[in-house]
Chain A
Amino acid sequence: MTRESTGPGGRGRDRDADRGVSTVVGYVLALAVTVALISGLITATGAVIEDRQATTARTGLEAAGERLAAKLMAADRLATTGADTVVVAVPLPDRVAGGSYTVTVNDSADAELVLASATTGAEVTVEVANRTDLAGATVPGGDLAVVLSGGELEVRRA
């Protein structure tokens, strides 16, 4: 027979169906599942953001590196005419994917530019074909200039 109950179990509930059920445990279970789902969602979102940031940084560094290499080779062409002065401006973005980056000129036999992001650790190498010697240097990314100095092409902050 069904009996009414005035307790917090609710009115008109079948007391037989509530056997082995604890309200506290119910709430704790609901909370735990919700927390687990939400933290999983947040973790996945964070991972996507990190992945996108790394890809964007790499693409940005490649674009900046190719641009600098093109301007460096244009300066090289001018320097080979025996010019007295060559200064080529290279406007580059100050930050890539929200982080700063550095540009390193390697003046080895196969000259190359290495651009490295300070925040994501992404690193891009761009080769340069040159006839004039390059001066090895590391400069922070941003507005740069290629200058002919002492018979060598130097990359400096503008």
Chain B
Amino acid sequence: MADIGAGASDRGQLMLVAALTIAVGMVVLVALLNGAIYTQNLAMRSPDAGGHDALQFRDATVGAAGEIIDAENDAEYDSQDEVRANVTQGIERYDELVARANAGVATYAAIDESSLSVHDGTLLRQTDPARAYTSSGGATNWTLATSVPDIRAFSLVVEGGLQSTSDPAREAFNATLVGSGGAEWSVYVYDDGGLTVGVRNATGPVNTACPGAYSATPVSINLTAGTVNGASCPALSFAAGTTAPHAVNYTRGARALGTYNLTVNTTPPTATVTSTSFNGPGPANSPYELPAVYDATFTLVYETSQLRYTDTVRVAPGEPP
């Protein structure tokens, strides 16, 4: 008979092959488990790309540049070159500080200084609260500026001396913007059984737009922001119904007392301030005009290992929205 009684060392070959196959299967399953654990880890990592920080940097830089522009304008320099140089230096100094602070957290956040440009403007102001809204020569109906493409931070603080009237269109003090084509937008301040602020488009009626926001002088009217004593007045929509460039007029200026500020863009050669109606710089010289910066434009860069963001911004604090 055939010898099929094999020796002890030959037994179990099939079992060995099967065990090896199952072992390989186990290894593959372990590799899959590793992949699943990595996926869980990936899913729990923060997906934040740093976009929020980039936008915060942008907003903070625009705000800071606006404050620098306003601060240098308020310093009342004697020449355009001086105010322009100081605004530029101020923004460059801010850039240096913020770049150094962000470098400490592995972030490049800076202003591209080669892109920085500032544009000229003129600040027109009256700081004597007891003075009427007349020109330096005492004219009651006068033009502050003509053909200005942009106006920002236009505010009046009316202290008193108001005309008592119920026909403001013909009797009250008003500040008027005259657009190209002749369309007008006016703000009236008068006394009609109480302090009243009215808004008028073109030849329409005077809309006493902001009741309840005030009761007596002094009243602070921000024409560009559309607020009265800090409260929003939707009807006070700056230059509604008109198109730039504008002329800025005061009518019946003797029928109100108070202060004002406005900055006009005098970069285009056609934009003109009526210099004969203003005095030179100096708080005792109300009303007076000052060289100022109207706006600044620059490119900012925000870069981390995960994100690169650049944006060109224009900063003109107090421009109407």
Contacts and interface: CB of A to CB of B under 8 A. Distances in A.
B39 A74 contact: no
Contacts, number: 114
Interface residues of B, number: 41
Given A84-B310, A88-B306, A67 B47 contact: yes
Given A84-B310, A85-B308, A77 B22 contact: no
A38 B39 contact: no
Nearest to A23: B4
B48 to A, nearest CB: 7
Nearest to A60: B39
A17 to B, nearest CB: 18
Interface residues of A, number: 44
A86 interface: yes
A48 B29 contact: yes
B29 A49 contact: yes
Contacts of A83: 309-311
Interface string A1-31: 0000001100000000000000110010001
Contact of B311 (A41, A42, A82): A82
A89 interface: yes
Contact of B51 (A7, A85, A88, A92): A88
A56 B311 contact: no
A31 to B, nearest CB: 7
Interface in B9-57: 14-15, 17-18, 21-22, 25, 28-29, 31-32, 35-36, 38-40, 42-43, 45, 47-51, 54-55
B58 A98 contact: no
Interface of B: 1-5, 14-15, 17-18, 21-22, 25, 28-29, 31-32, 35-36, 38-40, 42-43, 45, 47-51, 54-55, 58, 299, 305-312
